[in-house]
Structure 1
Amino acid sequence: MRIWGAIALLLVLCLPAAAQQEPAPQILIVDSDRVYLETLYGRSIAEDLAAQVSQLQSENDAIAEQLREEELALTEQRAEMTPELFRQEADAFDEKVQELRRTRDAKNQELQVASAEARSRFEERVQGIVANIMLERNALMVMEQRNVILSVRAANITDDVITRIDAQLGDGSQ
């Protein structure tokens, strides 16, 4: 019996290391939100969009303050105006407010569209990197993390994707 144990031990030691390891997962997992938020490229996009949002908010705040001042001035002038003149001025002010609201809403919508388009361009540019990792690991597919209920840690390639995107695309300006 000892000899058979020794032979079995010798065979195990002679097997290549790759044969002793677990096979690579056939399905890989990536957390696309982490990839977007943690890569230099994704952060660059997010920072640019945040600056645009901040600028738009500053503009909105300045317009709101201007409208408050105009409304206060109109209210103070009311005592000196005829009811008809006040109604005309109030209607003109209301129309101005409505037009400004429509303009600001349109700018907000443009910013939302720009954000979605930037995210889409990001995903298009990084798709090849994810595909290369999938092929390198002989996997059949890559799934989004939020669609996975349970997996082995080795199936998650998010950290590798982030590293590779940073190395290949940097902040996306290339």
Structure 2
Amino acid sequence: MGALFGALLCVAPPVQAQQDGGLSNLGVVQSLILTVAPDALYAQSDFGQRIVREIEADSVEIAAENRRIEAELTAEERELTELRDSLAPADFRARAEAFDEKVQRLRREQDEKARAVGQRSDDARRALLTAAQPILLQLMIESGAVAVLDRRSVLLSVESVDITDEAIQRVNAEFGAGAAILPLRP
């Protein structure tokens, strides 16, 4: 039985090499072309997960603020409606216009806050990819590759040329939650 086990050990590496086209060499992919999934790199990295939590917290805060503003505006509109019969038409018109301007201003301010939250996500993705470039370059060098392609733009490839999981591990080891990429919020 020991001889059979030893024989299997001798056969196993060539079988693996045949399965991935000879692309792995001691655990390091050997290929001229590698792929990475940028969305997964962001979403599964400690940094990306931190940013998602921050954005969710910001979104909850904006939603709560929107509800508070809506309640205040509803009360103010009700009050204005009740005053309509007791005010001179010119006074009512002036108050109504001021109220409309206030509503429009608050809407613009809240929309700008929501856009800023969305922009933070886009900025964080770009910052991560910029920070990860030396890691991706090192993976290229180790693999003997000449290019790393976005997996979304590759029609067909063997799974073994995808370095996303290794890139995530190295990004996490290098940057953790990414205070060096984007500062932590207070």
Does residue 30 (structure 1) correspond to residue 33 (structure 2)? The answer is no
| Amino acid corresponding to residue 65 of structure 1 in structure 2 | A
C-alpha displacement of 1:155: 0.8
Instruction: Kindly provide the CA deviation profile for residues 57-99 of structure 1, in whole angstroms up to 9, marking residues without a partner as x.
Output: 2212211221111111111221222222211111111111112
Deviates more, 1:136-145 or 1:162-171: 162-171
Which residue of structure 2 aligns with residue 59 of structure 1?
A: 65
Determine if contact 1:32/1:144 at 8 Å carries over to the other structure. yes
Q: Greater CA deviation, 26-35 or 105-114?
A: 105-114
Structure 1 counterpart of 2:149 = 143
The Cα RMSD (Å) is: 2.0
Give unpaired runs (5+ residues) of structure 2: 1-9, 24-29, 181-186
Please give the alpha-carbon distance, in whole angstroms, between the structure 2 residues aligned to 1:117 and 1:39: 15
Structure 1 stretches (4+) deviating beyond 6 angstroms?
none
* Structure having the higher Rg: 1
Question: Does residue 1:121 correspond to 2:127, yes or no?
Answer: yes
Unaligned runs of 5+ in 1: 1-12
Judge conservation of contact 1:31–1:146 (CA < 8 Å) in 2.
Answer: yes
TM-score by length of 2: 0.77
Cα distance in 2 for partners of 1:50, 1:44 equals 10
Higher relative contact order (CA 8 A, sep 6+): 1
* SS of equivalent residue, structure 1 residue 79: coil
Residues 8-48 of structure 1: CA deviation (Å, up to 9, x unaligned): xxxxx8xxx68x93142211011110110011111111211
Asked whether the 8 Å contact 1:25–1:154 carries over to 2, the reply is: no
How does the TM-score come out when normalised to structure 1?
0.82
Identity of aligned residues (%): 36
How far did residue 102 of structure 1 move?
2.2
| 2:160 aligned partner | 154
Q: How many residues align?
A: 158
Aligned to 2:183: none
